[in-house]
Amino acid sequence: MTRYRIITNPIAGKGRALAQMPLVEEELNKFNLDYEIILTRYPWHAAELAQEAIAQGWDVVVSAGGDGTANEVLNGLMLAREYGANHTCMGLLPVGRGNDFGFGMGIPMDVSAACRLLAQGRPCPIDVGQVQGGLYPNGRYFGNGVGIGFDAVVGFLAAKSKLTGFMTYLAAALKPIALYYDSPKIELKLDDKTLVDNFLMVSIMNGRRMGGGFMMAPNSKKDDGRLDLCLAYKMNRVEMLRTIPTFFNGTQYSRKHIGGERSSQIEIRALQGTLPVHADGETICTNGQELKIKVIPRQIELICEYLEESL
């Protein structure tokens, strides 16, 4: 019988994750699953609990929280793979704030539907990204995406907000616009070209969405071996305010200051200014100079598709 360890961050979503656990238990019990729910107690604990679960022979390690919890569980699974432990797959119950990773991987946002998928779905291989630099010279894995520049500043402000959900990030986006966040001169080395320009924002996506509603890479695929880049070139405040709404439905590429690229690896260097960077909402650096980012194709088995017979 398949065994599930469910790792829950009790403070994810301002406490929403913990409040959802009775419903999660009720839904999972309908399917007679063999599971345990374990709570994290400190940063990086989810990664440790994921590695522990693998060592103990659990079949599925489930992240029950937001993007931060999912990132830690993903890192735990990837670190275990470095030592040859690759028998465990990942599950997601998106009960946190942004839940962008789950959205990009096709996980239902409804808790009951997500529990049903966990019980009746099948694992599919997904790509995993890795970023090296800043606080992580040896690398940190990510599932959804890396934000550089304006995107990272918004994320840092959102983390301090008392709001929840998409409004957290929307409100946070307005402050750096008012202050007019500068656009550092950046060199981007991609698979087949090098770009040098003043970039307001560089978003490097394995998923599709950031900030709970900003469709950075609407056409991104979870298993194609490429990362999708959303590039925002330097623009004034009025242009920024006009451009932000286009990210809600993924039509930003029609704007002259927005470009898109795809690459399996990216080297980033600040030629002028510094680089604030996050990965899946986790701080990589606040004033970095150089980064290396790559995709590792089809590395994790994630329960993200229903079996035909269960429909």
pLDDT one-digit tens code per residue, 193-222: 999 999 999 999 999 999 888 999 999 999
Question: What's the token pair of residue 220?
Answer: 């991104």
Under 8 Å between Cβ of 134 and 277: yes
What domains sit in the chain, N to C, each tagged with a CATH number?
3-120 (3.40.50.10330), 132-297 (2.60.200.40)
- Residue 297 CA to residue 129 CA, distance in Å, equals 8
Please write the tens of the pLDDT for every residue from 230-240: 999 999 888 98
35 to each of 4, 11, 60, 90, how far by Cα in Å? 5, 21, 9, 14
Tell me, what amino acid is at 266?
Answer: I
Question: In this predicted structure, what is the pLDDT of residue 100?
Answer: 95
Low-confidence ranges of the chain (pLDDT < 70): 157-181, 308-311
Cα dihedral sign, 278-213-223-3: positive
Of the candidates 228, 229, 233, the one whose C-alpha atom is nearest the C-alpha of residue 258 is 233
pTM metric for this prediction: 0.93
Place of tokens 């797959």: 89
